[in-house]
Structure 1
């Protein structure tokens, strides 16, 4: 389903990150990194070869926008995965980037990542 995709996970809740990682690997993806802060994620973008990312919107009280903006600059697809953020703000700022509301199921996550990467 997600064969050969290198996915960066940006999530500050350890259990959610672990669950996403195992689910993506079970679907054939390679997890290129797990980041829990904006700073770690921005650094990973410069150091890792990724095909797409899944981003929690609120990372320890900071919005993930610098990471999303950098992904846009790099022409890399991403999806938002959030439990408590105003989705209208996200669609106003990022247009057609998929917004998944936690808890999103495996089918929704896989479908969003596949659509984002045009697979």
Structure 2
């Protein structure tokens, strides 16, 4: 499986570059090593899902894309299970970042 811009976990990992809890100072600490590319962010997003982090679909706040990310403790405290689904559409900024990363990979090759 590969990076899915409609998957809230993949998109949040890419957009925020790592996952920070929206309610407490917890940070998802995952450094799998290897090349930083779309697959890297996919691994972060999917590991966060397995570790019971909750990432709710994004919303736009002005010009900024905002993901509501909860660590496992806060997710339990607020009764949130996470998001098993996908967003209907990928946010345009996520598509732009994906394209920029693909272009950079092609230029490096």
Q: Shorter-chain TM-score: what band?
A: under 0.3
Larger radius of gyration: 2
TM-score, structure 1 normalization: 0.26
Normalised to the residue count of structure 2, the TM-score between the two structures is 0.27
**Relative contact order: is structure 1 or structure 2 higher (C-alpha 8 Å, sep ≥ 6)?**
2
Point out the structure with the larger strand share.
1
